[in-house]
Structure 1
Amino acid sequence: MPVGNIPTDVDLETRPKLRKQERRKHILLELRLRPHVRISELADHFRVSAETVRRDIGKLSDDGLLDRAHGGASAIISGRYPSFNERATDRVNERERIGRLAANLVQPGETLMVDSGATTLQLARFLAFDGTPCTVFTNSFPVAMALGQSDAANVVVCPGDYLSSESAVVGTDAVEFLQRHSVDRCLIGASGLSEGGPSETIRGFAAVKRTMLRQCRMSHLLIDGRKFGREGLAQIGNLSDLTSVVSDQDPTAELAKSLRHSNVEVLVAR
């Protein structure tokens, strides 16, 4: 008779150990079935040390795919946040102005990383409309499709775990893919921008954005002015990680002072 999914006649000591990526996918699968997993149980199941499982959980937490908890990990419980489609139909004129100005920053022949978002989609549309020659790495299918309208753009889509509400990929595979490339610029969005830096609310996005910031020479944050002063669940980086902020309005006095102190240029799309 089987016990769980493992037959009783299987010798667990001779069963092949799972590789790192397989273990991490299994941890995420477990969290879809129950809200919490314990390190000790996973270590016994995988036949590895508790420290190995702790590193797995740490990496998945850094990628925004689970929450670390005492003795284990928990599934992320996220609040209601507008979907990509909802955001894409909100404040369209403002996003278009931001996207147009940001597209003017890109020089012909540059390599870019562009993340998923309603405002970065407008950037992609203007790059395609202008026929700007560029190579773009993105985790966003809408961004890829918009740029795909231009014969001048070479588009590379990241691998990863598909997030249907955002039409984008996230996770370890996406992050590790981006880490293998270096580009001239990254152009990213965020859920909020405060004196502590840009932050993100959507599960898995912060890790992708952090990686893009590390892999570029110049970094541009495209953000709706209503998000000034807001703080998302996960920190993306510090103000000093940014080359410029592109928005539809001037930041508040305190935020503007912090941006100047961090040598971040503010570009306002009028």
Structure 2
Amino acid sequence: MTTRRYKKQERHEQILLELKLKPHVRVAELAKQFGVTTETVRRDIEDLGRDGLLQRAHGGASARHAGAHHDLDARRHQRVAERERLGRFAASLVAEGSSIMVDAGATTMEFARFLAFAETRVTVITNSLQVAMILGQSPATDVRLAPGEYLPREAAVVGTETCEYLANYNVDACFIGAAGLSEVGVTEAIAGFGAVKRAMMRQSRARHFLIDASKFGQTHMTRVASLDEIGSLVSDRHPTAPLSGVLRERGVRMLSPDIQKSAPARV
């Protein structure tokens, strides 16, 4: 009997389907099922792991637990191309001479990197050590780092002192990441991050949420903002229905490199 040959996309879909039916899959069993080498299956698992769709484990892979959230270093190595695309586009939204608040996260780090490359003259207030260090390399940027309780796994500060510091400033816009976006609103998985994001929103004339498409449909413990409070959603691609329809009804401005053909309005 001839073994069916699975294409790469078909293998990826089948692996994810298997993980919906059982908590763990093994490389050797998948290789036999697909009629490919174990190295091919390992590459498939690495691809899916980088996209955050499963958790790599010894000898195979495990299902990604609902609500699971990796630390900053792990997230930086997931969806790298998409995050770079989002960060480059978001940086183009910042107007020369403006003042902004930027929170901590892998996506906002990419945003900061492209903003530094552009040498846009801007004042940045942040709770992220990584964002501060990246933008501190640009001679055009005035960086102000908030005090607070340090989270080593996130290279960021949070807490009452952080929020009180942010309340001393009024800025043109905030650029904020998030762990999830669904019909519930914008949500966050890391303790302390939600309060900092809300503090930044209160002090900003315009709000921009930088959320890559892998987080669409996800809901985490802490609600950061209702859909009415978002302002602009900046992503690597346009949301699909039904989320796109709900966002449109709530007046959310959806921006991405795919749909923003003309020069974007700057803040």
Show the 5 A alignment for 1:100-115.
100-115=88-103
SS of 1:99's equivalent?
helix
Q: Deviations over 1:22-65 (max 9, x none)?
A: xxxxxxxxxxxxxxxxxxxxxxxxxxxxxxxxxxxxxxxxxxxx
Q: 1:192·1:229 contact (CA, 8 Å) conserved in 2?
A: yes
Paired position in structure 1 for 2:256: 268
Establish whether residue 141 from structure 1 lines up as the match of residue 129 from structure 2.
Answer: yes
1:252: how far off?
2.5
Q: Cα RMSD between the aligned structures? A: 1.1
Establish whether residue 83 from structure 1 lines up as the match of residue 71 from structure 2.
Answer: yes
Change in CA separation of 1:80 and 1:253 when aligned onto 2, cut-off 3 Å = closer
Q: Which stretch shows the higher mean deviation, 214-223 or 237-246? A: 237-246
Paired position in structure 2 for 1:258: 246
Q: Deviations over 1:121-152 (max 9, x none)?
A: 01100110000000000000010011011000
Q: Deviations over 1:212-234 (max 9, x none)?
A: 11110111110110110111110
CA distance in 2 between counterparts of 1:212 and 1:232 reads 20
1:80: how far off?
4.9
CA distance in 1 between counterparts of 2:220 and 2:101 reads 22
SS of 2:95's equivalent?
coil
SS of 2:242's equivalent?
helix
Establish whether residue 221 from structure 1 lines up as the match of residue 213 from structure 2.
Answer: no
Q: 1:160·1:173 contact (CA, 8 Å) conserved in 2?
A: yes
Q: Which stretch shows the higher mean deviation, 90-99 or 256-265? A: 256-265
CA distance in 2 between counterparts of 1:181 and 1:242 reads 20
1:117: how far off?
0.6
Q: What is the total number of aligned residue pairs between the two structures?
A: 192
Show the 5 A alignment for 1:10-159.
80-159=68-147
Q: 1:189·1:221 contact (CA, 8 Å) conserved in 2?
A: yes
Paired position in structure 1 for 2:162: 174
CA distance in 1 between counterparts of 2:200 and 2:75 reads 22
CA distance in 1 between counterparts of 2:147 and 2:86 reads 28
SS of 2:225's equivalent?
coil
- Runs of 4+ in structure 1 displaced over 2 angstroms? none
Q: 1:239·1:262 contact (CA, 8 Å) conserved in 2?
A: yes
Q: Tell me, which stretches of 5 or more residues in structure 1 are unaligned?
A: 1-78
CA distance in 2 between counterparts of 1:269 and 1:204 reads 31
